[in-house]
Amino acid sequence: MYNYLEKYDDNFNNLFEKDLIEYEKYVKMYYNDNSKCPLDNKSDLDKKEENGKFILKCSAKGKEWKMEIEKPIIFNLFYRREELREKFNDKSLFFKNKLKEIVKDPLLKPDENKDIEKLLKELKDIEKEKDNLNGIFQKQQDFIDDIDKQKQDLIKKSLEHKIKREMLYEKLVKINGEIKMKLKEIYLNENIPDQKRLSEISKNVNLTLEETKNWILWFESVFNYIKTGNELEKLNDDLMVHQKTYERMNHKFVLEAPKISGEKPQESKTKKIKVSKKLI
């Protein structure tokens, strides 16, 4: 039985990517008819598959080279879920039929009892694995549902800010650009000033207390509307990133990384060409 939830974070963060790239490199070497010994890139490369491993080996330049590549355990979670469902249904049917046979027999046969116990254990294991795998999908759905709830709350707030902005806009008196910028800076630096401060500002810009307050409240509603819009956009981006990640990990979920043992081929180094100072 596999524990999928245990490997959730590793797959979500794509921690197996480096191992899989390395694995694919040697698998291509195994299946490529033109592959040569990495010691000299011309000697024959011996290849065989044994006990679930790819084995590559060769000799050249008086040296021995050997790599053993153990296959990873990777599932498409959608296919695996369907496979477990069918397996459980088939076993359940067989279990029921077996149980009927035993019930018909007044004398319980020990061997048949053992078969029933074995079948029952297999069914429990499959059910447990199904629940564990479904936990992956549930975890992903919980995140999506939480994002949707946050989005709905932000949409509601955004609408409230929009209505407030429009209502305040109808109360605004005309002011010149300089005063408008001054009131905007006051809001950005002081938020909503108290009554005493509002009175000072009003005298300074030659507006009534109510006119000054309406302008500052309008700036607040505008910035709150912009803020909720930015938060909503961030949530949408976050959701998109997670959905792409879910798509990747659900179609290629790694339960066990490939195991590669042996001396890796040396990368060919580019020779440095010395240029005579006389030629410069």
| DSSP structure class, residue 61 | T
Contact 53, 71 (CB under 8 A): yes
Domain boundaries, the chain: 5-74+256-262, 77-134, 145-251
Indicate the pLDDT class of residue 53, thresholds 50, 70 and 90.
Answer: very high
Angle (deg, nearest 10), helices 209-251 and 110-169: 160
- Tell me whether strands 259-262 and 46-50 are parallel, antiparallel or unpaired: unpaired
Residue 138, both tokens: 């549930």
φ, ψ at 76 (rounded to 5°): -85, 115
Contact 33, 47 (CB under 8 A): no
User: What confidence score (pLDDT) does residue 109 get?
Assistant: 58
Contact 151, 235 (CB under 8 A): yes
pLDDT tens-digit series, residues 116-143:
888 889 999 999 999 999 999 999 999 9
Give the Cα separation of 31 and 29 in Å (integer). 6
pLDDT tens-digit series, residues 98-121:
777 777 765 655 566 677 888 889
Other Cβ atoms less than 10 A from the Cβ of 253: the count is 23
User: What confidence score (pLDDT) does residue 278 get?
Assistant: 45
Residue 113, both tokens: 């009892």
Indicate the pLDDT class of residue 264, thresholds 50, 70 and 90.
Answer: confident
For 59-70, letters b (16+ CB in 10 Å) and e give ebeeeebebbbb
| Pure H helices in 105-194 | 110-169, 177-190
Other Cβ atoms less than 10 A from the Cβ of 264: the count is 12
- Residue showing tokens 């300089």: 178
User: What confidence score (pLDDT) does residue 106 get?
Assistant: 56
User: What confidence score (pLDDT) does residue 48 get?
Assistant: 93
Residue 46, both tokens: 């011996």
Give the Cα separation of 219 and 18 in Å (integer). 51
Give the Cα separation of 15 and 222 in Å (integer). 43
Residue 47, both tokens: 């290849």
Residues 6+ apart with CB under 8 A from 8: 136, 139
pLDDT tens-digit series, residues 209-263:
999 999 999 999 999 999 999 999 999 999 999 999 999 999 999 999 999 998 7
For residue 49, give the H/E element and its range.
strand 46-50
| DSSP structure class, residue 36 | B
For residue 78, give the H/E element and its range.
helix 77-104
Give the Cα separation of 73 and 258 in Å (integer). 8
Task: Please state, for a pLDDT cut of 70, what percent of the chain lies above it.
Answer: 90
Q: At 261, is the secondary structure helix, strand, or coil? A: strand
